[in-house]
């Protein structure tokens, strides 16, 4: 019912479009070729918003001083699209949790200067400056929690960095007004005939024969790498260890929110602390969806509280975040997500958000409690290599690690079970032996706190650190909150659309 409502919503708003293109599952079988980097796939880098080489450079080109991107509290993931003729360069946030592409956020009404500058640096698109643009009169409002985008649809060509392939006449939105958005979004969830009434970006790639199947692989890359990759129609076997486990996508009708998304069934969650004594959390068999547009991983409150307690956090702060000791980010534990056939180990460093401030880092668990949605956001996805395969209605999942580049194309008859990662399994063992107190109530906390760090706790900043600390902490948290909203917004789009029709 909800699916119908949502589809109806799309049809009503996107007047004049037809949902004629249904996902094709009976494409002619192609002989299995030797792995090669060739015709039917397209690969581009995924840049972390904190990547100074990419975004720092853009500030300079635009005559704006290089801002402290390190001060941006969280990371989002961007792909570059060259839109129109001549090409106009735009960076868009890669989002597996939404379905449409749009550009041109309004940067003028953003609260923080750093958000404004980042917003200006992602680029914009002017259809009047493109020979191949065709502006339609169709508009739509995408609601993102506290933010939103009013878009008008246009069709134009989209080309890619380092690739001869280009898409012709792709339908997407350019914003006429936005609120609390600091970049456009490339929604790569289910499109035509499912969630939207026209061929979205992923649909067009297959329809225009750029890819042989409706599948793409995604590696966000680690915090240290600052860059990952997305490959439409292909995968890179040098980005994971072990075999890809094929997890069926939970059909919309059986999914928790009734919407066709990248929902899969998770077996359980566990923690492997530095001591190595694995702890399994109870009641953790549930459907989860993979959302690259969400900064944080959202879990049911009871579970989130249990994990947070194991990180020494006794509850959420005023902003709904679990403050943790930054020393944990340097310890060799993992948070584990077990699926049939594969367990993704997320190192503490990737699970903990480290927010630099003028006086030292503030650290938060990359998990937030949520009773409405269970989703695996960037804090989990950075440690996974995932093939999002709409053709086979499956997610093929493995442990992310990086040992070079070995691209291969994906065809309708590709046997994913037979594909093995070229990398050795990463080791999460401690580099040096650190004594772990066996009788401590909080075995994960180091015996000695690092000195010279103003470490916030769930109870507030440490006493005696003065008002400077509090002010800086507040400002850091405010920035975080804005970004957090963006993530939650992406998934709220659907909620709002559904609510409006229910
Ligand atoms: C981060 O922001 C603070 C407060 O606005 C500023 O004092 C500091 O210099 C910035 N950090 C960097 C690395 O620029
Ligand atoms: C623009 O779109 C309209 C309506 O679909 C179509 O009639 C027209 O031929 C298109 N123009 C170009 C230049 O593609
Ligand atoms: C894509 O390939 C199929 C099969 O080879 C062919 O029938 C179709 O015309 C091609 N479409 C385009 C847009 O080139
Ligand atoms: C298991 O988790 C669900 C979802 O958070 C919750 O509704 C339920 O009460 C939990 N059951 C137990 C036995 O804890
Ligand atoms: C896929 O590969 C696996 C492992 O090599 C093999 O056991 C299986 O038979 C293959 N499936 C098909 C349909 O070829």
As a whole number of Å, the CA-based R_g of the chain is: 22
pLDDT > 70 in the chain, percent: 73
Q: Is residue 95 annotated as part of the catalytic site, yes or no?
A: yes
Residue from 245, 415, 416 whose mutation best tests the ligand 5 pocket (most atoms within 8 A of CB): 415
Band (114; pLDDT cuts 50, 70, 90)? confident
Cis ω on the peptide bond leading into residue 314 (within 30° of 0)? no
Q: Is the pLDDT of residue 383 over 80?
A: yes
From the CA of 209, how far away is ligand 3's center (Å)? 6
Angle in degrees, 0-180, between the axes of helices 2-13 and 466-501, rounded to the nearest 10: 90
- For the stretch 354-368, pLDDT in tens is 887 777 788 999 999
pLDDT for 217: 98
Q: Is the pLDDT of residue 395 over 50?
A: yes
Q: Is residue 389 annotated as part of the catalytic site, yes or no?
A: no
Whole-angstrom distance, CA of residue 56 vs CA of residue 59? 5
Per the residue annotation, which of 82, 115, 291, 336 is the catalytic one? 291
Q: Which of 314, 410, 311 is nearest to 365 (CA)?
A: 311
- For the stretch 224-246, pLDDT in tens is 998 999 999 999 999 999 999 99
Residues with a CB atom less than 6 Å from ligand 5: 415, 417-418
Q: Is the pLDDT of residue 398 over 90?
A: yes
pLDDT for 117: 82
DSSP state of 192: B
pLDDT for 430: 57
DSSP H or E segment with residue 394: strand 394-400
Residue from 203, 208, 209 whose mutation best tests the ligand 3 pocket (most atoms within 8 A of CB): 209
Q: Is the pLDDT of residue 467 over 90?
A: no
Q: Which of 203, 200, 105, 140 is nearest to 12 (CA)?
A: 140
Whole-angstrom distance, CA of residue 312 vs CA of residue 269? 18
Beta bridge pairs of residue 192: 196
From the CA of 245, how far away is ligand 5's center (Å)? 13
Summarize the confidence of residues 468-474 as an average pLDDT.
27
Band (144; pLDDT cuts 50, 70, 90)? low
Q: Which ligand has the minimum distance to the alpha carbon of residue 112? A: 1
| Phi–psi pair at 495, nearest 5 degrees | -55, -50
Residue 443, classified by CB atoms within 10 Å of its CB into exposed (0-12), middle (13-18) or buried (19+), is middle
Angle at 443 between CA 441 and CA 446, to 5 degrees: 115
Summarize the confidence of residues 332-339 as an average pLDDT.
97
Residues with a CB atom less than 6 Å from ligand 3: 208-209
Q: Which ligand has the minimum distance to the alpha carbon of residue 30? A: 3
Residue 272, phi-psi category: left (phi > 0), alpha (psi -120 to 50), beta (remainder): beta
Please answer whether residues 14 and 388 qualify as being in contact, where contact means their C-beta atoms are separated by less than 8 angstroms.
Answer: no
- For the stretch 5-15, pLDDT in tens is 222 222 222 22
Whole-angstrom distance, CA of residue 181 vs CA of residue 173? 14
pLDDT for 315: 92
Band (335; pLDDT cuts 50, 70, 90)? very high
More confident residue, 62 or 141: 141
């Amino acid at each position: 019912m909800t699916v119908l409502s949502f589809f109806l919503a799309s049809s009503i708003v996107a007047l004049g479009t037809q949902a004629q293109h249904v996902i094709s599952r009976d494409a002619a079988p192609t002989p299995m070729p030797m792995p090669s980097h060739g015709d039917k796939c397209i690969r581009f880098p995924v840049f972390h918003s904190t990547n100074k080489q990419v975004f720092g450079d853009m500030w300079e080109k635009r005559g704006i001083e290089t801002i402290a991107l390190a001060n941006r509290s969280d990371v989002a993931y961007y792909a570059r699209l060259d839109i129109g003729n001549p090409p106009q360069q735009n960076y868009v946030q890669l989002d597996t949790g939404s379905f449409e592409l749009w550009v041109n956020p309004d940067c003028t009404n953003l609260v923080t200067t750093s958000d404004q500058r980042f917003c200006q640096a992602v680029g914009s698109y002017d259809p009047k400056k493109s020979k191949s643009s065709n502006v339609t009169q169709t508009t739509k409002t995408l609601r993102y929690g506290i933010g939103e985008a009013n878009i008008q649809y246009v069709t134009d060509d989209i080309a890619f960095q380092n690739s001869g392939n280009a898409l012709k006449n792709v339908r997407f939105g350019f914003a006429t007004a936005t609120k609390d958005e600091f970049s456009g979004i490339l929604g790569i969830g289910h499109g035509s005939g499912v969630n939207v009434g026209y061929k979205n970006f992923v649909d067009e790639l297959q329809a225009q024969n750029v890819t042989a199947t409706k599948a793409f692989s995604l590696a966000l890359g680690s915090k240290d790498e600052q860059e990952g990759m997305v490959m439409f129609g292909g995968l890179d076997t040098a980005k994971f260890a072990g075999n890809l486990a094929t997890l069926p996508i939970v059909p919309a009708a059986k999914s928790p929110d009734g919407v066709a998304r990248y929902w899969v069934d998770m077996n359980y969650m566990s923690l492997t602390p530095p001591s190595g004594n694995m702890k399994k959390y109870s009641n953790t068999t549930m459907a989860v969806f993979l959302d690259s547009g969400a900064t944080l991983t959202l879990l049911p409150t009871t579970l989130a509280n249990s994990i947070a307690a194991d990180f020494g956090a006794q509850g959420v702060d005023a902003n709904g975040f679990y403050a943790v000791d930054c020393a944990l980010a340097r310890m060799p534990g993992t948070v584990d997500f077990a699926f049939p056939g594969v367990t993704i180990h997320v190192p503490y460093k990737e699970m903990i958000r480290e927010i630099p401030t003028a006086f030292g880092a503030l650290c938060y668990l990359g998990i937030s409690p949520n009773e409405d949605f269970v989703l695996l956001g960037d804090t989990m996805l950075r440690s996974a290599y995932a093939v999002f395969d709409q053709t086979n209605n499956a997610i093929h999942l493995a442990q992310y690690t990086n040992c070079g580049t070995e691209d291969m194309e994906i065809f309708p008859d590709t046997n994913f079970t037979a594909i093995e990662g070229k990398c050795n399994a990463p080791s999460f063992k401690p580099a040096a032996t650190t004594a772990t107190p066996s009788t401590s109530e909080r075995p994960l906390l180091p015996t000695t706190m690092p000195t010279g760090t103003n470490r916030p706790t769930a109870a507030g900043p440490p006493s005696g650190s003065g008002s400077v600390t509090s002010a800086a902490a507040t400002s850091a948290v405010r920035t975080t909150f804005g970004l957090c909203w963006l993530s939650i917004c992406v998934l709220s789009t659907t909620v709002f659309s559904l609510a409006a029709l229910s």
